[in-house]
Amino acid sequence: MKNDSRFERIKVATEGACLRVVLARPDVRNAFDVKTMEELTLVFSEVGRTGLYKDARAVLLSGEGKSFCAGADLEYMKSMAGFSREQNRQDGDRLFKMFEAVRTCEVPVIAHVHGHAMGGALGITACADIALAETGTQFRFSEVRLGIVPAVISTFVLSKMDPNWARRWMMTGELFFADQAKSAGLVHFVGTAEEVVREKEQVVKAILEAGPEAVKKTKRLLNTIGFARPDQVHDQVIDVIVDVRASQEGQEGLGSFLEKREPSWRANVVKG
C-alpha cells in the first residue's frame, strides 16, 4: 500500500472505489497520540468531499499488527498529567472532532476490529457505520481503571450500543469480548479473520451496487435525525425524498427498475 506522504501515523491508499485507512503504529498497538488524532480527523473530513479522496465510495478502517487500537498512547497520557484546565479542554475537543469526523464521513465507514479495542478505540468502533470483529477480540472501557471518565466517547457509544450494557462496562472497566459486543450492538459481525474479510467484501459489494449519492444522503439523514420523534423531522424527511426522487440519480434508479435493467452506477462495478 502506498502511503499518502502527508501522514505519519496512518496509512492511506485508494483501493478500487474504496479508501483504505490503516492505523500504523503496531509497536504501541496503534494507540492514539495527538498526531494520530489530527491525521484521522483530516482524512475522514476529506473523504467524499474534497481533495484526493472525494470519489471514494467507502472507507475500510483497520489496524496493523496484533491489535486494532489500544486507546491512548502511554507517552501521550503522561503528558496529560501536567495539563492545565484549558489544555484539557483543547485535548477533549481534539478527541471529539476525531470521532465526529468518522461519524460524519460522507461515505460508509467499515471497521475491521481485532486483537484489542480499548478506551477511545471503542469510540472509533461506535462511529463506524459497520463494525466487523474477529472472534476473541477484547474490548474494554478502560477509563475508570485509570481514575478518569469515558466522557467524550459516551455520546458516540450510546448512539450505537445498548445503554444497559454500556452502563455496566463503562462503570466497571471489565473486559468483554466480540460476541458480547455484538449482542450489545457495538459490532455487527463476528468471525475468523478470513470470515471478516469475506463479510467486508460482501458489504462493499452491496454499497457499490447502490446509488452513490443515495448512500451519502441516507447516511447524512440518519446522522441528522438520530432518535428524534417523527413529528420533529416531518418536513426534513419529506424534503429529502422530494429532492432525491427528482435528482438525476433518483430518476436513473427508478427508470432502470421499471425498464428491468441495471442502473448506470452498477454497470460500472467490477464483477468478481
Helices (H), the chain: 34-46, 74-80, 85-103, 120-127, 151-158, 163-172, 178-183, 193-209, 212-225, 234-246, 248-258, 264-267
Residue 70, C-alpha cell as written in the block: 489500544
- 147-204 pLDDT, tens digit per residue, is 888 989 998 999 999 999 999 999 999 999 999 999 999 999 999 999 999 999 999 9
Say whether both 57 and 186 belong to one domain.
yes
Residue 2 covered by a domain: no
% of the chain residues with pLDDT over 70: 94
pTM over 0.85: yes
| Amino acid at the residue 70 | A
Which pLDDT score, from 0 to 100, does residue 2 have?
Answer: 56
Query: Is the same domain home to 172 and 55?
Result: yes
Read off the pLDDT of each residue in 134-159 and give the average, rounded to a whole number: 92
Instruction: Say whether both 152 and 46 belong to one domain.
Output: yes
pLDDT for 175 equals 97
> Tens of pLDDT along 194-236?
999 999 999 999 999 999 999 999 999 999 887 666 677 677 7
Pairing of strands 130-134, 116-118: unpaired
Q: Give the CATH number for residue 235.
A: 1.10.12.10
For residue 58, list its beta bridge partners: 18
Using the 3D structure, point to which of 205, 225, 240 is the last residue of a domain: 205
Mean of pLDDT values over 4-33: 93
Q: Is residue 181 part of a domain?
A: yes
Same domain, 201 and 248: no
Q: Do 130 and 236 belong to one domain?
A: no
Q: What is the mean pLDDT of residues 45-56?
A: 86
Asked if 110 and 130 count as a contact pair (C-beta separation under 8 A), the reply is yes
